[in-house]
Structure 1
Amino acid sequence: MSISPARSQRGMALLVSLVFLLLLTLIGISSMQNATLQEKMASSVSLRNQSFQAAEAALRVGESAVQLDSYSLAVCNGIRQCEPPAESSTVNAAGFNSNSGVIWIASGNAFYGVQNIGTTVTAVNVPSATSATLYRITAVGIAGNSRSVVESIYAKY
């Protein structure tokens, strides 16, 4: 009695389709992991952009405050209080910091602080022989777990 070729092939098609299904499942899982990683990266870039934009906006608000004729601030005293504020990497609320002498002011999702770092007669874009008071404006933007810190020096004469 001979076994026909059709009978010896039974079940082989099922085995081949299961192997293909397994391969397609592995490709699908890999694609989903890749898509999830890309989504996390895009979210991180978006948060970083939002925090930077918030910091820039707060910086402009701080510069506008300094531009007012009525604005005055005592000159920082001591090396520690004239340095850029170290707490900019941790500030989460408005208020006074006794170490740096900076008063942090809330502006949207950001904070800004101003320091009077003294006067000079050699500032850029200031008429010669005119003294200018220099202000350091530090702004911190926060969005999610992203923090951006920007600074500018404003010469007021």
Structure 2
Amino acid sequence: MCASNIRSQSGAALILSLLLLLVLTLLAVSSMQGTIMQERMVSGEREGMQSLEIAESALRDAEVALEGINILSVFDGSNGLFGQDDAAPDPLTMDWSTSGNVVAATPVDGVTPRYFIQHMGDANQPEKLTDIVVEGYTHETGAANAQAFRIVAWSPGATGESRRVIESYYARQF
């Protein structure tokens, strides 16, 4: 190459290379942002599922506790046990972490779920139970003393970013 050709170049290749590099950089940054968003969504879903599983374990703890109760007089509005006439707390607005009206269930993976139980009345009298009908318990099955209970369980996730509140109804004979 002669010296006159070098001086006559205007740098078009350099400008084209820089533009191509800019486009590739923008594509890479956009792709990384999408990946980060997907990572956050997956983490949130995993956290929510973990808190649901832990709340379900609290529900099972409450059922086991109910099986161990032999008299209905313990449902007096204290220690997370509410009677038919007691005003149970609103599970969506109460502070589960500091409330004295709940029972701490067995911790799972370092997370302590909580629950409360409300006595709803006779299971074989659906007119008294407007929210539920417990099937299979009638005077014909010998379950004249079957009682219905509402169990509400709460759990945070492992990082505390999610919470789950679940409600179940349970019936048993006394």
Conserved in 1, the CA contact under 8 Å of 2:61 and 2:105? no
Which residue does 1:136 correspond to in 2?
A: 150
> How many angstroms apart in 2 are the aligned matches of 1:19 and 1:91?
56
Give unmatched runs, 5+ long, in structure 1.
98-102
Equivalent position to 1:86, from 82, 90, 108: 90
Give unmatched runs, 5+ long, in structure 2.
76-82, 126-133
SS in 2 for 1:91: coil
> How many angstroms apart in 1 are the aligned matches of 2:52 and 2:171?
23
Pair 1:90–1:46, CA change in 2 (3 A): farther
Which residue does 1:57 correspond to in 2?
A: 57
Equivalent position to 1:125, from 125, 133, 136: 136
Counterpart residue identity of residue 115, structure 1: Q
Deviation digits for residues 31-82 of structure 1 (CA, Å, limit 9, x no counterpart): 111111111111110110011001011101101111125364322315xx15
> How many angstroms apart in 2 are the aligned matches of 1:48 and 1:34?
21
The more displaced of 28-37 and 125-134 is 125-134
Pair 1:67–1:147, CA change in 2 (3 A): same
The answer to which structure has the higher helix fraction is 1
> How many angstroms apart in 1 are the aligned matches of 2:161 and 2:34?
22
Count of residue pairs the alignment pairs up: 145
Counterpart residue identity of residue 135, structure 1: F
Counterpart residue identity of residue 162, structure 2: S
Pair 1:93–1:106, CA change in 2 (3 A): farther
Counterpart residue identity of residue 53, structure 1: E
Counterpart residue identity of residue 86, structure 1: D
Conserved in 2, the CA contact under 8 Å of 1:112 and 1:140? yes
Pair 1:87–1:120, CA change in 2 (3 A): closer
Counterpart residue identity of residue 77, structure 1: D
SS in 1 for 2:139: coil
The more displaced of 47-56 and 144-153 is 144-153
Matched-pair identity in %: 34
Which residue does 2:131 correspond to in 1?
A: none
Conserved in 2, the CA contact under 8 Å of 1:140 and 1:148? yes
CA-CA distance at 1:91 after TM superposition:
3.0
TM-score by length of 1: 0.79
> How many angstroms apart in 2 are the aligned matches of 1:71 and 1:94?
28
SS in 2 for 1:153: strand
CA-CA distance at 1:104 after TM superposition:
3.0
Please, what is the CA RMSD of the aligned residues? 2.4
> How many angstroms apart in 2 are the aligned matches of 1:71 and 1:44?
42
Pair 1:37–1:90, CA change in 2 (3 A): farther
